Amino acid sequence: MYYVACVAVFLIAYLVNVTLISVFYHRGLAHSAVVLSPGARRFVATMGNWLTGLDPKGWVCMHRMHHEHSDTELDPHSPRNVGLAGVLFEQLRSYERILIGLARRDRAYTTVVSDLEFRISWLNRNRLWYLPYVVHAAIALVLGVVFGLWILGGAYFFGIMSHPIEGWAVNALGHGVGGRNFNTPDDSRNNQLVGLLVAGEGYQNNHHAHPRSAKFSYRATEFDLGYVLCKILAFAGVLTIDQAHLIGNANAANAIAARASAAAGVGALLHGELEALRPAE
């Protein structure tokens, strides 16, 4: 029973983490693929950094720069520049550089996120970026030291604070290992394993081709948990999904392409028959 509780705590903490980062930060603030209710937006702006360890404004700035300069020298994290393993530290270095730039009101960064009405978090304005890690580690330590629930404490901490590993998997493997559905100008890939483990974020090729879509999956074999969370939160009134930019699915797209091709075939056939009926001159 204890181990079941540990797995449950890990999954709940992980769900909180991916809901905040993948749904609220990424699909909401960075791309407006979902529009957060005013209350949800205020919650993310004030509590997001405490819960995830990541500054919402700093994260959105880095992510938009990634889309703007994907897999070029200016990309804040690309395996093309630093290799797959190198992305782990490159994303942390870029995040720190961008936060310092935003704190100094450097226009190279502030213009990228000028639409976000809130400042970088109180934590980062006061150089206390480490406090969320301390708080979550303290909760885990209390569970271990006071109650003897060490595994439960570890499950909580690694569930809620998994963003460095998630970020590495998405940014490295999502641009280095996997197939492609769309011919985008970057190196983006659809990595099935990362797609399944990190709430659809591994389908980077689909996402780079359709960045305004709240849904990152395209083929029937791809599963985007983040989009399921979007639909649940839309039902609860927390956000609205931008329906106009939703990516289709491969089967429907293929059916449309097949119909278009069949229509073109009929057209060509008719044209051929008309040509055949035309009297020789």
* Residues near Zn ion, by CB under 5 A: 204
| Closer Cβ to Zn ion, 153 or 174, answer by number | 174
Cα angle 40, 45, 47 (rounded to 5 degrees) comes to 85
Spatial separation of the C-alpha atoms in residues 191 and 139, rounded to whole Å: 34
| Closer Cβ to Zn ion, 204 or 206, answer by number | 204
Name the minimum Å distance from CB 80 to Zn ion: 12
Other CB atoms within 10 Å distance of the CB of residue 126: 9
* Residue closest to Zn ion when measured from CB atoms: 204
Name the minimum Å distance from CB 256 to Zn ion: 26
Burial tier of 50 (Cβ tally within 10 Å: 0-12, 13-18, 19+): middle
Hey, is 106 helix, strand or coil?
Answer: coil
| Closer Cβ to Zn ion, 26 or 41, answer by number | 26
DSSP 280: P
| Closer Cβ to Zn ion, 148 or 179, answer by number | 179
| Closer Cβ to Zn ion, 51 or 170, answer by number | 170
Q: Do the beta carbons of residue 20 and residue 50 sit within 8 Å?
A: no
Name the minimum Å distance from CB 142 to Zn ion: 36
Residue 78, C-beta contacts closer than 8 angstroms, at least 6 positions apart: 66, 70, 71, 72, 87, 90, 171, 175, 187
Torsion angles phi and psi, residue 63, rounded to 5: -70, -40
| Closer Cβ to Zn ion, 143 or 197, answer by number | 197
Name the minimum Å distance from CB 250 to Zn ion: 20
Name the minimum Å distance from CB 92 to Zn ion: 17
Spatial separation of the C-alpha atoms in residues 278 and 56, rounded to whole Å: 68
Name the minimum Å distance from CB 32 to Zn ion: 11
Spatial separation of the C-alpha atoms in residues 157 and 135, rounded to whole Å: 10
| Closer Cβ to Zn ion, 149 or 172, answer by number | 172
Integer CA distances (angstroms), 180 to 89, 172, 221, in order? 26, 15, 13
Name the minimum Å distance from CB 259 to Zn ion: 31
Spatial separation of the C-alpha atoms in residues 56 and 45, rounded to whole Å: 7
